[in-house]
Structure 1
């Protein structure tokens, strides 16, 4: 309750403000009566002190000392029955009261100090009771919304209506994720830079300037299981003296904290299922491609798209960290990557495997069309992790997997690239996988193009009877694998050398290719390699 409101009570009828008028906006939490000077050491902040000044009558200058100590203690004001013993208030005391903004109230002689204490405390308690009743009512309202599963949106809308101001919920990085207004306000971009300057108090207010416009916010911390709090931003100034608004917001903050922890528990369960699927998938634990595709649908993974894979890991992890600290760091990195994924235009997936963060990007295009955007995305993650944790993260990437079922191979390539970069002693790198085998290079070609090349190469044999087709294909394959040596081919097939010659001449006739031409034999070798990839598709 403010001093100016307290003076409107009937018991203060006839009282006059003799000095310190600028302090009438002080909050009064309690009222005390002084009959002896030893009470000075027991003064409390926001306390109104009333006295007859009996102990000051022989030494009026001691009133100066009293005002000095009241100022140090943050007292609300001083009420004196001036006409009882002092007759007048010393001018020096009035000047000091004006300087310190400590109201001096000249109380009429006929007014009982006991009545002042009693009625003032009763009024203060009634006000507190009303505030607590409103806070409990608000808490019940927010709790009911939570129990009914209305979610954070409805809780913020309800709070916004009670406070009369827009609300925004900020995560631990001071990035907005729910608001009763627009989330596209440019002023939100300024929030990220003030995290280190927020004081460790119950709430704080500040103003931000954006293009000549000043906007004031009051931030209330929301403590959850995370090491760093989230924040509830009220789009106006909330003074500490507005106890009704502060209590209402604090009740909402408690319910929001519970709602955030509930959502996090559901999120962790989903994350655990995703990680289990990914681990089983990468370890070839599924019995068939059909099972892989059915399980992948649960996580919105389509077999019709191509996949770029990146494996990331923190450089030089702190070995002195406890298990809980490692868990906290991992969660913070996961949240940071997830936020970057939400801002990305491309469809992304995030998994965790041991100490690695696996990022998949789905696309229908080839690597060249997506290389720049994917690398830019990974660099943005590196920058965000360094800002949040003052640590670096490195990535290994593959080219792409033509289909979902080829992801285990892409994952191994990305991990190999990550290990190779680390082996070179590099930090905060993005290392691309370099193919080492012909089959790895062929997998970089779209399946449609490989199938077309295969069909064009062996088109002449397609119309042959199946028995003849199989014999000719077998003979041609063994001949090429035997470095075009007739005797070795006959030996491997357990047939006469002349039979091999006959079959190869038949192949040349049907295919229209000379087996003595190195370029033609290279095409045939590649076609046989592609045949294996297509059969294992």
Structure 2
């Protein structure tokens, strides 16, 4: 609030600026009454004084000295009620007011202090509350070490009262606040899903791009029938566009006074996005090197505890590996040429989900799969605790990305020297778990059951040859007759314990079609599927081959 605004509030509306009119833009930060002579010690910048000069009514020199001190301390102005105790002010005060652009204001004698003070106090309180909220939300974003983008958009939503989301330059969603709005420009709020084609066309319009790359103001988009109005703030590093903050004006218009806040947040986000891409590479490199050496057995005796401690890993804690089928995610998004550019963001989001569950987490890519090395305090039933947290983890990841990731959880080891075994087991669990338990599941090594015994045979050449010999004729037939699907039909039939009705439903074929296929299988293999022993041979063959990386089954 400045003096000009103050003159339109409460009792000051009846006031008049009799000198120092050019100072109406001085900020008013506080209002005080002065009726005692010894007050100059507490005069401060932005202070508006209200007085009758009663204490110094007969001392013009003291009046002038007081006014000079107010000018020196950069006060807001002086409000005087002349008439009752003081008839006329010294001419020198008028001269000083005009010379220093210090407003000298008079109000009628019938205006009481309360008419002036109460409305001004209320207005100052509102401003300070607003400023406090501004700085609190800004501090909570800029001063935090938490790099979770969802934290940022939720704090913005709390402050602005509208939905907020962050997108990259391809309009892929990086974060969205709790309140969401589906309209013509965005219908999905799952991570990395793109905005609707209408928004993509708008963003890629040369005029819009020019404003976002070089403009000083945000881009404002009006409301239409199927689209809510919104304000788009660019996230950029110099003139390189990194993404956008979008505020949907669902509940109320975005006040222009909030532009500065959002621009500061955008600057902060540019640093975060660049940091996610580059700054953490050194730490990730150290972690990746440690994990690779751990897996390959390249750590010399006596070095393990020292290197682990340097990365915050306690050697006496329980450790294990997790793996996600990230390769399936890449295949699903293969049409996006730059899908791998999102690897750092995916890593950061998954790490954000996992960190609250496990004490220490390292995340890395290896052969297009995503692995996590985790460490937790050793305690009773630690394997069961890890299993439960693994289910929580996969549920949260699948909800965030809207993709049925599978999670393989390796065995938990209390000795770092043995944890390399967990890496191999996590890979195996991922492969078997997807085949046996289906997509979107978390499977722990301990759940494998009979597969744990078959593991010892999975690389035995004679056993594998037997399994291949049993199923090869069916695979050869399928290759020659592309619509036959004998191998798949047999596998589903066995998984449903020989239930033709259920198996045909899962295969989306008629019962008679499946019966024909089963008859064909028996003719080719000379195996009776009504014989439980023969069905067991097929089941074992499928299980063995599902564990073999070179298998086509």
Same fold (TM over 0.5): no
Band of TM-score, shorter chain: 0.3 to 0.5
What is the TM-score when the length of structure 2 is the normalising length?
0.38
Larger Rg: 1
